[in-house]
Amino acid sequence: MTAPLSSWEPGRPLPRDARVFVAGSSGLVGSAVVRHLRAAGFTDVVGVRSSQVDLRDVAATTRFLDETAPAIVVDAAARVGGIAANAAEPVEFLHDNLRIQANLLDAAHRADVPRLLLLGSSCIYPKFAEQPIREDSLLTGALEPTNDAYAIAKIAGIMGVQSYRREYGRSWISAMPTNLYGPGDNFDLEKSHVLPALIRKFHEARVSGAPTVTVWGTGTPRREFLHVDDLAAACLHLLETYDDPAPINVGVGEDVPIADLASLVADTVGFTGEIVYDTSRPDGTPRKLLDVSRLQALGWKPTIGLAEGLASTYQWFLEQQGAQR
């Protein structure tokens, strides 16, 4: 039986014997959350692979939550991808994420889960939102067209959390991370986000001796990058301190131009050739920097710098390449 949270209040440590279900536990975010919770002393952390329980299936999700009976749920399950994947498969990005979220929220309510954290994405905000982006920018303008289907699904997740709070008094929350990277990332050139794609591109160019690497877009858009282990630490901090219907941003409060990021990746992997920009490819949102003042007011800041995090991520990538050969 899982430990109850009947006497727990925000601002106090969660009981370390409380059962925590991390949805999406095999992915980039979920695996980091599992690592951090166990390192923080949680003794009953449950994960499940999509091959075991398809969270898009309402009956399977309901049955699993009923049987597992967690006290805490972290929703890190999602269909994710970069610009190319989002543009090519908007139906799948919309429907899969809507189903996953609706099924998890409904099943968690049925199982009487007292504490739930839904993780969204900074892409929920308008394409031309004032920078840095505050949480109250949500729904104030048009979305970035290259990932609007995914963004709409995540906005629906926020509304789901707020609706359960309003109608049933659930102490559930949502958090919006900035661009993430780290061990466990997807390095597929067609489906990955910008940073892992760059790592793989520059690595393969160095190994093959290619004289140039082509980067999508102009190199001028600015992006913020948060190491996934920092996000995992923020998740626990929010579960223990935050109880508000409004989503809360999770980021570092600093961004870099894609051109600078590309140069940093090239230096990290040892590529010494020329970087070429394919301006026929889309840039996406011109800038996406989160205002993290509300999170900082709760007493949390990231600890892993971009150069340090990039070096450790590349090392993880090399280890995986070795394991695959």
Query: Is 150 among the residues known to form the active site?
Result: yes
* Lookup: tokens for 12: 């106090």
Q: Is 163 annotated among the ligand-binding residues?
A: no
pLDDT computed for residue 234 by the predictor = 98
Q: Is 25 annotated among the ligand-binding residues?
A: yes
For the chain, the domains span 20-182+225-253+288-304
Q: Is 6 annotated among the ligand-binding residues?
A: no
Q: Is 24 annotated among the ligand-binding residues?
A: yes
Q: Is 203 annotated among the ligand-binding residues?
A: no
C-alpha pair distances (Å), 13 with each of 8, 31, 58: 8, 22, 32
Q: Is 121 annotated among the ligand-binding residues?
A: yes
Q: Which of 142, 144, 225, 220 is nearest to 180 (CA)?
A: 225
CB atoms within 10 A of CB 211: 10
Helix (H) or strand (E) holding 118: strand 115-119
d(CA 211, CA 188): 22
C-alpha pair distances (Å), 191 with each of 87, 155, 225: 10, 22, 18
pTM, rounded to two decimals:
0.93
Q: Is 166 annotated among the ligand-binding residues?
A: no
Exposed, middle or buried: residue 7 (CB in 10 Å: 0-12, 13-18, 19+)? exposed
Please give the class, per CATH, of domain 20-182+225-253+288-304: alpha beta
How many residues in the chain? 325
pLDDT computed for residue 324 by the predictor = 52
pLDDT computed for residue 325 by the predictor = 45
pLDDT computed for residue 51 by the predictor = 87
**CB neighbours of 159 closer than 8 A, spacing ≥ 6?**
none
pLDDT computed for residue 286 by the predictor = 83
Q: Which of 125, 150, 164, 314 is catalytic?
A: 150
Given a cut of 70, the residues of the chain with pLDDT beneath it are 1-4, 82-83, 191, 323-325
d(CA 219, CA 112): 48
Amino acid at residue number 242: Y
d(CA 303, CA 61): 35
